[in-house]
Amino acid sequence: MTKIATSPAASLWGDVWKRFKKNKTAYTSLIFLILLGLMAIFAPQVTPFSYEEQDISRQLLGPNHINWMGTDSLGRDLYSRIIYGARMSLAVGVIVAFIAFVIGTLYGALGGYVGGRLDHLFMRICDILDTFPSLLLMILILTFTRRSLFGIFFALSIVGWVREARLVRGQVLQVKEMTYIEAARAVGTRGWVIVLRHVLPNILGPLIVTLTFQIPQAMLAEAFLSFIGLGLPPPFSSWGTLASEGWRALRSYPHLIIFPGSAIFVTMLAFNFLGDGLRDAIDPHLKD
């Protein structure tokens, strides 16, 4: 009987998935985030009202059987606004993290593999960006872009890729000294092919873990900017915008900030649990 060969990569990631499922907290967090993402995508189907639908006769109501999380100052259903707000918060987190991931990975891989003066120049640029206060840099960018959606993505991405670049550079410096990299060089394989086919696939695990931590960081940064009035412009509405609106009525109508704040807190916690679970699953030293 002929045996079917199993791909080493498939076997590795299959083993990672088995160990990840044993971590109940991380696995539950993954299910929660998937459900949250689906609710955000299909918001019109899972919300009883539109996020813009106003009813002055029902303004500032507490949680009830019609408005599960109450209403805001314009009579808009808070539950519906939170679900629609998840669209923007998750979109900002995922897109910004992905942009930072791509830029940081290419930047760090190029500098780490080529080395020499190019690597020295790349790291000095990172040092300059690290020295400049990230919050001040984001505020300056948003001031010049007039709080546009592009400005939010640009401001958060320009701050987030530096840490990714440093991580990738360190991993590449280790991997490029391995025997299989020397063998690829010996047979005349081009440098960019070695980086794409041999270097990056072998450092993909730590990069995925870092990506899961960058998403909540970007979401929290956007929420903070929205909270201080520098976030997404109308008609866009994120959890940070809802928390900013609710803060003004904290004593009289606490539900306006409790529910958006809880959504931010639980989602950040889920991403952190997910990242921890992936890190433990990918770590070869934890293999049974």
Any idea what the CATH number is for the domain that residue 45 is in?
1.10.3720.10
φ and ψ at residue 199, rounded to 5 degrees: -80, -60
Provide the pLDDT confidence category of residue 287 given band limits of 50, 70 and 90: very low
Domain that holds residue 42: 21-53+65-286
Locus of tokens 């897109």:
95
CA–CA separation, 275 vs 288, rounded Å? 20
pLDDT at 116: 84
Q: What CA–CA distance (Å, rounded) separates 144 from 146?
A: 6
Contact 18, 10 (CB under 8 A): no
Q: Please give the pLDDT value at position 57.
A: 84
One-letter amino acid identity for 104?
A: G
**Is residue 4 situated within a structural domain?**
no
The residue type found at 200 is L
Instruction: Please indicate, yes or no, if residue 1 is contained in any of the structural domains.
Output: no
For residue 60, tell me if it sits in a domain. Answer: no
77: left (phi > 0), else alpha (psi -120 to 50), else beta?
beta
pTM of the predicted model as reported, rounded to 2 decimal places: 0.82
Q: How many domains does the chain have?
A: 1
CA dist., res. 65 & res. 71, Å (int): 12
Q: What is the pLDDT of residues 226-275, one digit of tens each?
A: 888 787 766 667 888 888 888 877 788 888 999 999 999 999 999 999 98
Q: Domain for residue 142, yes or no?
A: yes
Inside any domain, residue 189: yes
For residue 10, is it within any domain? Answer: no
